[in-house]
């Protein structure tokens, strides 16, 4: 599967390209802002490298300031009822502004109360999405999924760690916040979003001492922000505690970050990355690695506005209708030319074989029609009887090469058209003559318009076996 995955968080642009389920490139560009539309368009267009259609699925992760998170307590109910409660809750808060939302159940939490669900709610206002959607459109990008880093990180973690050693935490360090997810065997146990203000694009290239000092200050701020949350969770969870901390996000690239966090809390700390073989800072692309495995928008919270989804649905429906019409027209055209060719073949057969109609009086009584010989009469009969036309057309197409039609008699018996066909086969090989005879009889019997009504009468004549002529007479009823 191919996909183009774009992360717009942290005043940076991250682009992950997947070809045949393998990462082929992962690029991070700092100083990217959707607010600066012209610059953002140039940077994004340069990174995607051409029309988006050739990249397969396109997945977008929104900036943190567009996605609102909160933990809500709601009465225990089914998913549809919870969705209705949350929708009304958000609508009251936003004064009925349009929005898109998703939610996850927190399986177990220190905040749980009897008879309630703890729900992690995410929502995005459509008006906040406007600039993002406009940028994507200008770059020729038609997204399949628009989601959050939370969805991508949890998806990647559950893929890498389907079974955990008790409670394990994902710590996504961003430029504006730190997200903490507590996971236990695939279930979300707790969530927190902590404010953090760090410019990870700041650089002191050429001055190693200043660069090292700046990095240490950033790490100190991160550990300080994490301290209250991590220690509080450890105390409240009792013996379970936290077995492992998994660090990811743009801040995970700081040298010594895992050692500092591990030392600060006494917990094993590792980088969460699905791109070890593609780039050195794979943990900065953890959320993109998660969404890159999507095959359907139903697998994840999708913030694409309903109006845009409806447009896509209408476009797909229109394409299907257009394709159906095109196929129908093709069938009509093909049928027309096939019929014209059949008519041409039949007329050629009549002309070349010089078919005659023998005057035959049926023995069944006065009600039987009598047809006189001649091509003009044959034409009249053909135009008046579509079934007879089809039967003669089958004869013209089915007669094998090497069989000569001597005569076709037509008579009407009890409203049924009976064709008696006299044919001759002449060839120097006796075995070939017999094989051709069998092929001729089988060919006529394969027609759905002809039903044999008598056993074929076969006679052989000629001066010798090598120059023999096989004559065969057979009668067929024309089936309507």
- Structure confidence by residue, pLDDT tens digits, 218-238: 999 999 999 999 998 888 877
230-268 exposure pattern, b = at least 16 Cβ within 10 A, e = fewer: beebbeebeeeebebbbbbbbbbbbeebbebbbebbebe
* Cα–Cα distance measured from residue 417 to residue 212, given in angstroms and rounded to the nearest whole number: 102
Strands 12-19 and 22-30: antiparallel
Task: Indicate whether 197 pLDDT > 80.
Answer: yes
The pLDDT score that the predictor gives to residue 262 is: 94
What is d(CA 67, CA 129) in angstroms, rounded to the nearest whole number?
10
pLDDT of residue 372 exceeding 60: no
Q: How far is CA 117 from the centre of its chain?
A: 35
pLDDT band at 357 (very low <50, low <70, confident <90, very high): very low
What is the percentage of the chain residues whose pLDDT exceeds 90? Answer: 35
- From residue 469, alpha-carbon distances to 404, 408, 423, 425, 455 in Å are 11, 18, 10, 6, 19
- Give 387-445 as a DSSP string: HHHHHHHHHHHHSPTTEEEEEEEEEEETTEEEEEEEEEEE-S-HHHHHHHHHHHHHHHH
Question: CA-CA distance, 259 to 261, in Å (whole number)?
Answer: 6
Judge whether residue 389 has pLDDT over 80: no
Query: Is this prediction's pTM over 0.75?
Result: no
State yes or no: pLDDT of 349 exceeds 80. no
Q: CA torsion angle for 202, 207, 213, 214 (degrees, to 10)?
A: 0
Please tell me the predicted confidence (pLDDT) of residue 174: 93
Lowest-confidence segment of 231-235, 241-245, 442-446, 466-470 by average pLDDT: 466-470
- Is the pLDDT confidence value at 112 over 70? no
Most confident of 54-58, 248-252, 291-295, 315-319: 248-252
Q: Quick check: 166 pLDDT over 80?
A: yes
Task: Please tell me whether residue 84 adopts helix, strand or coil conformation.
Answer: helix
- 35-49 average pLDDT score: 90
**Phi then psi dihedrals of residue 191, to 5 deg:** -150, 140
- Whether 281 has a pLDDT exceeding 80, the answer reads yes
pLDDT at residue 72 is higher than 70: yes
**In terms of C-beta density within 10 A (0-12 exposed, 13-18 middle, 19 or more buried), how is residue 18 classed?**
buried
Check residues 297 and 302 and name the one with the higher pLDDT: 302
């Amino acid at each position: 599967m191919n996909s183009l995955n774009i992360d717009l968080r942290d005043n940076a642009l991250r682009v992950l390209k997947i070809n045949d389920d393998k990462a082929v490139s992962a690029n991070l560009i700092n100083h990217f802002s959707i607010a600066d539309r012209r610059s953002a368009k140039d940077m994004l267009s340069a990174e995607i490298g051409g029309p988006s259609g050739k990249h397969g699925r396109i997945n977008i992760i929104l900036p943190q300031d567009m996605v609102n998170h909160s933990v809500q307590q709601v009465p225990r109910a089914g998913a549809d009822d919870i969705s209705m409660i949350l929708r009304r809750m958000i609508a009251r808060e936003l004064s009925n502004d349009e929005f898109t939302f998703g939610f996850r159940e927190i399986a177990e939490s220190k905040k749980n109360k009897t008879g309630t669900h703890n729900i992690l709610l995410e929502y995005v206002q459509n008006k906040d999405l406007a600039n993002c959607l406009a940028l994507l459109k200008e770059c020729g990008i038609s997204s399949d999924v628009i989601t959050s880093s939370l969805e991508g990180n949890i998806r990647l973690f559950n893929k890498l760690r389907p079974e955990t050693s008790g409670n394990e935490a994902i710590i996504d360090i961003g430029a504006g916040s730190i997200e903490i997810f507590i996971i236990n065997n695939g279930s979300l146990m707790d969530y927190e979003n902590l404010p953090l203000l760090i410019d990870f694009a700041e650089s002191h290239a050429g001055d190693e001492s200043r660069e090292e000092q700046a990095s240490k200050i950033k790490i100190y701020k991160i550990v300080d922000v994490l301290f209250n949350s991590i220690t509080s969770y450890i105390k409240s969870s009792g013996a379970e505690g936290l077995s492992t901390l998994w660090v990811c996000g743009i801040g995970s690239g700081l040298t010594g970050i895992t050692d500092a966090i591990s030392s600060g809390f006494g917990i094993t700390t590792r980088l969460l990355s699905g791109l070890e073989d593609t780039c050195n800072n794979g943990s900065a692309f953890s959320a993109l690695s998660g969404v890159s495995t999507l095959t359907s928008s139903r697998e994840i919270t999708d913030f694409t506005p309903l109006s845009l989804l409806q447009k896509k649905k209408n476009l797909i429906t229109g394409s299907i209708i257009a394709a159906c019409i095109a196929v129908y027209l093709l069938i009509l055209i093909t049928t027309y030319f096939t019929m014209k060719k059949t008519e041409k073949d039949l007329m050629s057969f009549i002309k070349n074989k010089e078919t005659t109609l023998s005057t035959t009086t049926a023995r069944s009584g006065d009600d039987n029609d009598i047809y006189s010989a001649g091509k003009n009469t044959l034409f009249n009969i053909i135009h008046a009887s579509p079934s007879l036309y089809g039967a003669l057309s089958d004869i013209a197409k089915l007669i094998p090469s090497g069989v000569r039609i001597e005569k076709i008699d037509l008579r009407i018996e009890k409203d049924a058209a009976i064709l008696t066909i006299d044919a001759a086969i002449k060839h120097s090989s006796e075995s070939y003559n017999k094989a051709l005879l069998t092929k001729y009889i089988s060919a006529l019997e394969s027609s759905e318009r002809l039903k044999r009504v008598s056993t074929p009468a076969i006679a052989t004549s000629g001066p010798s076996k090598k120059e023999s002529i096989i004559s065969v007479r057979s009668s067929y009823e024309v089936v309507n």
